[in-house]
Chains A and B, each alone.
Chain A
Amino acid sequence: MINPDSVGRTFDGADLVTVTQSEIDAFAAVIGESDTSVAPPTFSIRISLSQYESILTKPEIGVDWTRLVHGDQKFEIFRPIVSGDVFKCSATIETLRTVAGNEIISVRSDLHNGAELVVSSWSTLVVRG
């Protein structure tokens, strides 16, 4: 069970994440994108999902990552990500509900480069009961 006291709380990622050109190149290559001067629009999921995993699986929150299914995803991109961006990442648990034995968690990720908010994204994650 996910700890209901975690709803409404924001958790900061432990480390700053630096985006490299080789990461953008690899992500772009998979989808056949030849312009790698900026990251493809869904690139930030690479950062957000790993942050979610480290934050949400903490014992005080209690998500079982092996039972996780991705329900939906939304991005708001204030400017494209580029190589050299250094992101401070935060994850906010917005809602938690239980439907048919599955726990459904809505979480927002904000990626800041210094004071600049670059990408906000929202993920609905389903922990299958």
Chain B
Amino acid sequence: MINVGDAVPTKVFYLDRDLLKAYADASGDQNPIHQSEEFAISVGLPNVIAHGMLTMALVGKFVTDWAGGSANVKEFSARFIKPVIVPAREKVDLTVTATVVEIEGELIRLDLTATSAGVKVLGMAKACVHAANL
């Protein structure tokens, strides 16, 4: 039984430069700010940053796992408020949690929180999932 106010257990993903390259190839977004430290710094960034959409894709995996599969995700939205900074040869965390905020029939709405190195990276992150199998 799912109730409004329930917390979805926290999950931690880890990002590194190899994952950014793999996402660039899988998504077609080859913007050099996600791969080249020299380029990222030249445009005023502190270091290479993850694609916002990679962050969102990983949070989407968190939602999908809870919802029992990709097919159950009906709406998904987020604002990119801070970059996930990915230094060379390091793994940085993406820590995701959620709370059930609304239940209407078989649809469940989640508010999501995503942080990296303790900094909130997504704002207004929300998903609506179909709960037939939950």
Q: Which residues of A contact B (CB under 8 A)?
A: 23, 26-27, 29-33, 35, 38-42, 45-46, 49-50, 69-77, 79-80, 122
Contacts and interface: CB of A to CB of B under 8 A. Distances in A.
Contacts of B3: none
Where chain B touches its partner, the secondary structure class is: helix
Nearest to A74: B77
A42 B60 contact: yes
A71 B80 contact: yes
B79 A76 contact: no
Contact of A40 (B19, B52, B57): B57
B27 A75 contact: no
A30 B76 CA distance: 19
A61 B51 CA distance: 25
Interface in B68-84: 69-71, 73-80
B58 A26 contact: no
Contacts of A74: 75-78
B12 interface: no
A40 B27 contact: no
Contacts of B76: 41-42, 74-75, 77
A80 B61 contact: no
Nearest to B67: A41
Contact of B60 (A41, A72, A76): A41
A67 to B, nearest CB: 9
10 contacts: A26-B26, A29-B22, A29-B26, A35-B70, A41-B64, A41-B73, A49-B28, A50-B28, A72-B79, A73-B52
